[in-house]
Structure 1
Amino acid sequence: MSSPAFRPDERLVPMRLQRFLARAGVASRRGSEDLMTAGRVCVNGIVTTELGSKVDPACDRVTVDGVPVVLGAGATYIMLNKPAGFITTMRDPHGRPTVAELVPTRRYPGLFPVGRLDLDTTGLLLFTTDGDFGQALLHPSHHVWKTYLALVDGILEDDELEPLRRGIELDDGLCQPARCRLLTNREIRQVYSGRPPAYTTFVEVKIREGRKNQVKRMLSIIHHPVLELHRTQFGSLRLDDLPMGEWRELDSSEVALLKDDAGIS
């Protein structure tokens, strides 16, 4: 995991509670403030919502949703293999299933998803408590590649992908060039159980942007609507054999690779 948020020999002095939570890796500074105002943070057993409150890390006991918080734990980084049917949000006012139900929010109460996957899109979804890290991965200037596997309607020929490779025009502007290829029969057998539906094609699409429904819209424009969509890779991070609906923490080398992908230290 990431290095501790403080030096072992650093003198601990009273600090604002939201700063303490951020340094402990619970959430970003803004996310920590949201946890406080929601009444989820206690200091010495007392719910603390005042943003100017201070704590002494040497003697005060801080909990979030009843879970003790200590300095030095560092930020958390998690990968989920998202199933279909879950909204990419941590709370839904309409009570619909959300990805928050699939990750350890009690253990890491400041988790938030890095970007979004559509309701019916499956695959790799990142979560973190590190706000700067999440924003950097999504910032357009950092151009982090995302890889999708799409099952599309109709028999798609390779030359039909040329508009996507050049940069196709959507209703919200010109897309950056995508990397696209058709899957071989052997690859299809590895990723799809059973016999694919008749008159369908599997295509891999890599993009560096994150517009809403982008891959679906790109393929629809070339008259091959997406039937199923699955994200297999985010930057250097691969989903590999993580079971559907399961999550795991990233190790320090994986976090370092993602930071390198985004050009951040």
Structure 2
Amino acid sequence: MKNKSQPTDSGERLQKVLANAGFGSRRELERQIEAGEVSVNGKTAKLGDRVTPEDTIYIGRTKVGAWRLKKQEAQIIIYNKPEGELVTRDDPGGRPTVFSRLPKLVGSRWIAVGRLDLNTSGLMIFTTDGELANKLMHPSQQIEREYAVRVNGEVTSEKLQQLVNGVELDDGFARFEDIVESGGEGRNRWFHVVIMEGRNREVRRLWESVDLKVNRLKRVRFGPLFLDSSLAVGRHRELTEQELSDLLMATSAAPEPEPKKRGRGRKGKTPRNKTASRR
């Protein structure tokens, strides 16, 4: 029988286990461990400690339930977020949240991969795998996010090129990887844009930097996953086997698949007749 007063060489690293259980990113948890806020079997935890579901773990004064430590099969779903919903578990003002529409879970919890603001709709990914969520959100993965955006104002080729070349925002340099015109006329025109990060209101702030206002914004793609017309607003669904394989490949979490036959393009990909681009 395991002696709980002694560290163990078995199990997995503490920060990985807690991240997979949805207690935060691995980096955030490492900071908490270094600050002495996590204990294992009554002793202050150290980076590198390994744990199993048999261990007694506290984060601050909160005990981590043993069921949270057991490795479970990860679940991943996509959700078509409507405007007017918050990406938070609880809103003091009583406004609707995305989590209220998701399937109820026992023994785990949904983790949102990134956020969409109150007035932005479209594709969201939710998973019970904290490590996968952190990989999908980390800038080093260079995963594309594509948005359909309607802007109001005088759109010129110079402004579009400026957005592709890049501008300096309050929190640093930002740019669109791609801009494709997709309809509209007059002062209200639609575009599809691609960014590689998910900074707060980044798409809106980029357009505002060239004196254009966003009045509709919808995420239509996250990496290899597309929002298709079969998924109604406010509804969710599980990934297909192919979507799951493509998503894991995007984070290098699966072996390289066999090469696909030529001539089979991605379903739903925006045509490449660019208004502005930078290679």
**Both structures adopt the same fold (TM-score exceeding 0.5):** yes
Counterpart for residue 218 of structure 1 = 206
For structure 2, list consecutive stretches of 5 or more residues without a partner in the other structure.
1-9, 25-61, 255-279
* Distance 1:184-1:92 versus aligned 2 partners, 3 A rule: closer
1:264 to 253, 271, 275: 253
CA contact (8 A) 2:183 2:189 kept: no
Counterpart for residue 235 of structure 2 = 246
Q: Which moved more, 1:112-121 or 1:163-172?
A: 163-172
CA distance in 2, matches of 1:175, 1:264: 28
* SS state at 2:248 partner: helix
Amino acid at match of 1:201: R
Amino acid at match of 2:213: P
CA contact (8 A) 1:83 1:123 kept: yes
CA distance in 2, matches of 1:164, 1:142: 22
CA distance in 2, matches of 1:172, 1:50: 37
Amino acid at match of 1:82: K
CA distance in 2, matches of 1:108, 1:184: 46
Q: How many matched pairs?
A: 207
Equivalences for residues 29-178 of structure 1 within 5 A: 29-31=21-23, 50-51=63-64, 74-106=73-105, 109-178=108-177
CA contact (8 A) 2:22 2:111 kept: no
Amino acid at match of 2:211: H
Alpha-carbon offset, residue 108 of structure 1:
7.5
CA contact (8 A) 1:144 1:235 kept: yes
Alpha-carbon offset, residue 102 of structure 1:
1.5
Q: TM-score by structure 2 length?
A: 0.65
CA distance in 2, matches of 1:253, 1:108: 27
CA distance in 2, matches of 1:256, 1:122: 25
Amino acid at match of 1:124: L
Alpha-carbon offset, residue 157 of structure 1:
3.0
Q: Within the alignment, does 1:227 sit opposite 2:211 as a pair?
A: no
* SS state at 2:90 partner: coil
Alpha-carbon offset, residue 30 of structure 1:
4.5
Alpha-carbon offset, residue 145 of structure 1:
0.2
CA contact (8 A) 1:28 1:110 kept: no
* Distance 1:175-1:108 versus aligned 2 partners, 3 A rule: farther
CA distance in 2, matches of 1:118, 1:50: 32
* SS state at 2:87 partner: coil
Q: Relative contact order, CA 8 A, sep 6+: which one is greater?
A: 1
Amino acid at match of 2:228: D
* SS state at 1:253 partner: helix
Q: Which moved more, 1:232-241 or 1:97-106?
A: 97-106
* SS state at 2:78 partner: strand
- State the superposition RMSD in angstroms: 3.3
Alpha-carbon offset, residue 200 of structure 1:
0.5
Alpha-carbon offset, residue 75 of structure 1:
0.6
Alpha-carbon offset, residue 154 of structure 1:
1.9
* Distance 1:126-1:208 versus aligned 2 partners, 3 A rule: same
* Distance 1:233-1:107 versus aligned 2 partners, 3 A rule: farther
Alpha-carbon offset, residue 206 of structure 1:
0.3
Q: Which moved more, 1:152-161 or 1:111-120?
A: 152-161
* SS state at 2:125 partner: strand
CA contact (8 A) 1:168 1:177 kept: no
Counterpart for residue 255 of structure 1 = 244
CA contact (8 A) 1:148 1:233 kept: yes
Alpha-carbon offset, residue 94 of structure 1:
3.4
Alpha-carbon offset, residue 178 of structure 1:
2.2
Q: TM-score by structure 1 length?
A: 0.68
Identity of aligned residues (%): 34
CA distance in 1, matches of 2:104, 2:111: 9
Amino acid at match of 1:29: A
Amino acid at match of 1:175: A
Counterpart for residue 46 of structure 1 = none
